[in-house]
Amino acid sequence: MLKRMKMANFNYHHHLTCLLVLSAPLIAFAVSTPEDFLQCLSLHFGNASAISKLVYTPINSSYSSVLDITIQNLRFLTPSISKPSFIVTPLNVSHVQAATICSRQYGLQMRIRSGGHDYEGLSYLSEVPFVIVDMANLRSVTVDAENKTTWVESGSTVGELYYRIAEKSGTLGFPASICPTVGVGGHFSGGGYGMMLRKCGLAADNVIDVQLVNAQGRLLDRESMGEDLFWAIRGGGGGSLGVVVSWKVKLVPVQSTVTVFSPLRTLEQNATKLVHQWQLVANKLPDDLFMRVILQSHNSGPNGTRTMEAFFNTLYLGGVDALLKVMKSGFPELNVVRQDCTEMSWIESVLYFAGFPSGTPLEVLLNRSSNTKYFFKNKSDYVKEPIPESGLEGMWERFFDEDEGVPIMIWNPYGGKMAEISESALPFPHRTGVLYKIQYITAWTNGGNEVAPKHVSWIRSFYSYMTPYVSKSPREAYINYRDLDIGTNNVKGDTDYKQASAWGKKYFKDNFDRLVRVKTAVDPDNFFRHEQSIPPLSSQQKRKNGWV
């Protein structure tokens, strides 16, 4: 078996390139072969037979299906893209530790994958020889309804988390992603928001303890890692500081009845004025109300002409009577009536916002591949001043230039709890002063990767049109909407602090410097690295920046 593995897709040339960039303690792997890595694992697993069930190489018949199953962005599901030498699928903490120690020892880069939703595929792609540690088997969810806390393993999806909470209680919930297939591991690492953002903050705001395997392969919790590292992993982005194996979160109370509505207004129904007005009120409405706007363009205008469609996609944490009063005083122009609204339980609202038809069994939340996959490119912006109507009209024109249905914008209001939390409380800095966040999406299936350049170039030009209307110096962006257009590290060599701060300041503003200090302290050799991982400073750089 081992002989055959040696023949497998292991690229020695790249392997040597990799050697040059890694620091001294790792030189030992110069003579390594795939067998060495496997032997190292079996030594550390303490059970050689576990390897045959938990480690996949390209010769395994199920290698491709295990690799492809959680790849969300079809742009990265092509044969020409580099594949991992090994996929390790840990069943427990010891396996995660072994994978870390052995990848390090043999100079393989490690990519950590929980739900595989990274927009740029950083959890499963690399240009140098690499190992994927796929957390999908680590997904227990232990709900303590009495103490209102839960330990959730990183490989769980937020859908699984929501389902297990609802199983125990109808009046507890958790504020995380709207899309249920998103993995807890990457999502919490980058902040994580959903329909309760204005009431309860980010998922990361509600994390109270973790279990993390660090670059030395040691298992740490909040107490043993210290508050700096604990701060950094709640929003500093995945794949930089260690492997988070599980998270302890504080659950939030939810009303037994919530109300949802999603009225649609086209340009002919005054969408421009309504969207403009929404900018003035959405972040000031009571924080029980989260009203996001989804904007698309379709041939649904008069006589089949192109128009914009604005959906006011809304969750109210309370009953319909109270909601109608809030709408009447806060946003009467939208003219929401009782017939637009539906009362339901919080867990049913999770299905509603995920787009499942009414009556779908709750068990769909346990289905890790329930969502439709697209080819896509998404970007994000933060808006601090209302955009004038003329600016909105310019957006609509650009939407009409793209194929019908391909571009989408989602505007998420801030304010409420988000405005109460200080900018430096966690690495996620987009708090006070943000009216709303925009996510730009181009998503398609027709034409596949052949038409990617056209759509990607459309979204880049749209982003450039938006420059005058959005946050400046830095132009802020959401790390969980990963976008390599805003800058990358040099993954094959040493990363320069200046180069990294180009993208780092956009995601983290001044918190970036604190993240760099934490990284320098806990992973000075930069073992956990990818195109947008936090770089450590060399001693020379530390001196240059006056940090020593």
Ligand X SMILES: Cc1cc2nc3c(=O)[nH]c(=O)nc-3n(C[C@H](O)[C@H](O)[C@H](O)COP(=O)(O)OP(=O)(O)OC[C@H]3O[C@@H](n4cnc5c(N)ncnc54)[C@H](O)[C@@H]3O)c2cc1C
Q: For residue 546, what are its two tokens?
A: 């006056």
Told to check if 114 binds ligand X by CB under 6 A, we report: yes
Which one of ligand X, ligand NAG, none interacts with residue 367, CB within 5 to 8 A by kind? ligand NAG
| Amino acid occupying residue 359 | G
Q: Please choose, from the candidates 260, 254, 287, 251, the residue with its C-alpha nearest in 3D space to the C-alpha of residue 344.
A: 260
Burial 266-294 (b: 16+ CB within 10 A, else e): bbeebbbebbbbbbebbbebbbbbbbbbb
Q: What's the CA gap between 538 and 524, in Å, rounded?
A: 8
Which one of ligand NAG, ligand X, none interacts with residue 47, CB within 5 to 8 A by kind? ligand NAG
Shortest CB 157 distance to ligand X, Å: 8
> Which is the catalytic residue, given 56, 481, 497, 507?
481
Helix (H) / strand (E) containing 13: helix 12-21
Name residues contacting ligand X, limited to 445-464 (CB under 6 A): none
Q: Is 106:40 a contact under the CB 8 Å cutoff?
A: yes
Q: Is 235:418 a contact under the CB 8 Å cutoff?
A: no
**Residue choice 183, 415, 427, 429 for contact with ligand X (CB under 6 A):** 183
Q: Please choose, from the candidates 402, 492, 409, the residue with its C-alpha nearest in 3D space to the C-alpha of residue 447.
A: 402
Which one of ligand X, ligand NAG, none interacts with residue 413, CB within 5 to 8 A by kind? none
Q: Please choose, from the candidates 115, 54, 63, 53, the residue with its C-alpha nearest in 3D space to the C-alpha of residue 84.
A: 63
Shortest CB 248 distance to ligand NAG, Å: 12
**Residue choice 75, 95, 187, 198 for contact with ligand X (CB under 6 A):** 187
Q: What's the CA gap between 127 and 491, in Å, rounded?
A: 8
Told to check if 159 binds ligand X by CB under 6 A, we report: no
Which one of ligand NAG, ligand X, none interacts with residue 147, CB within 5 to 8 A by kind? ligand NAG
Shortest CB 50 distance to ligand X, Å: 20
Q: What's the CA gap between 283 and 415, in Å, rounded?
A: 5
Looking at beta carbons only, is 320 or 482 nearer to ligand X? 482
Looking at beta carbons only, is 26 or 93 nearer to ligand NAG? 93
Told to check if 239 binds ligand X by CB under 6 A, we report: yes
Told to check if 177 binds ligand X by CB under 6 A, we report: yes
Site size toward ligand X (CB under 6 A) is 34
Which one of ligand X, ligand NAG, none interacts with residue 117, CB within 5 to 8 A by kind? ligand X
Looking at beta carbons only, is 53 or 338 nearer to ligand NAG? 53
Told to check if 175 binds ligand X by CB under 6 A, we report: no
Shortest CB 120 distance to ligand X, Å: 9
Site pattern 476..515 for ligand X (x: CB under 6 A): ----x-----------------------------------
Q: What's the CA gap between 547 and 494, in Å, rounded?
A: 19
**Residue choice 34, 107, 115, 504 for contact with ligand X (CB under 6 A):** 115
Q: What's the CA gap between 241 and 228, in Å, rounded?
A: 11
Residue nearest ligand NAG by beta-carbon distance: 443
Strands 375-383 and 407-413: unpaired
Q: For residue 476, what are its two tokens?
A: 């802020």
Please give the angle made by the CA atoms of 212, 216 and 219, to the nearest 5 degrees: 30
Shortest CB 11 distance to ligand NAG, Å: 19
Contacting range for ligand X; rule: CB under 6 A; set: 13-21, 192-200, 291-299, 426-434: 192-200
DSSP 31-52: G--HHHHHHHHHHHHT-HHHHH
Binding residues (CB under 6 A) for ligand NAG: these are 1, 45-47, 49-50, 52-53, 56, 59-60, 62, 91-94, 144, 146-147, 179, 269-270, 302-303, 367, 369-370, 374, 376, 378, 410, 439, 441, 443
Which one of ligand NAG, ligand X, none interacts with residue 224, CB within 5 to 8 A by kind? none
Site pattern 43..72 for ligand X (x: CB under 6 A): -----------------------------x
**Residue choice 175, 180, 192, 536 for contact with ligand X (CB under 6 A):** 192
Shortest CB 135 distance to ligand X, Å: 5
Q: Is 539:520 a contact under the CB 8 Å cutoff?
A: no
DSSP E strands in 370-427: the ranges are: 375-383, 407-413
Q: What's the CA gap between 204 and 234, in Å, rounded?
A: 5
Which one of ligand X, ligand NAG, none interacts with residue 162, CB within 5 to 8 A by kind? none
Q: Could you give the C-alpha distances from 516 to 146, 157, 542, in angstroms and in order?
A: 39, 29, 10
Task: Write the Ramachandran bin of 537: left for phi over 0, alpha for psi from -120 to 50, otherwise beta.
Answer: beta
Which one of ligand NAG, ligand X, none interacts with residue 94, CB within 5 to 8 A by kind? ligand NAG
Q: Please choose, from the candidates 105, 108, 72, 121, the residue with its C-alpha nearest in 3D space to the C-alpha of residue 373.
A: 72
Told to check if 190 binds ligand X by CB under 6 A, we report: yes
Told to check if 123 binds ligand X by CB under 6 A, we report: yes
Q: Which long-range contacts (CB under 8 A, 24 or more apart) does 101-105 make?
A: 101/40, 101/44, 101/217, 102/37, 102/40, 102/41, 102/44, 103/37, 103/131, 103/133, 103/527, 104/26, 104/215, 104/217, 104/527, 105/26, 105/28, 105/29, 105/40
Shortest CB 56 distance to ligand X, Å: 17
Looking at beta carbons only, is 42 or 85 nearer to ligand X? 85
Q: What's the CA gap between 475 and 428, in Å, rounded?
A: 14
Looking at beta carbons only, is 45 or 507 nearer to ligand NAG? 45
Name residues contacting ligand X, limited to 68-97 (CB under 6 A): 72
12 among known catalytic residues: no
**Residue choice 34, 186, 407, 429 for contact with ligand X (CB under 6 A):** 186
Active site (catalytic) residues: 481
Which residues form the interface with ligand X (CB under 6 A)? 72, 111-119, 122-123, 135, 154, 177-179, 182-183, 185-187, 189-190, 192-194, 238-239, 243-244, 371, 480, 530
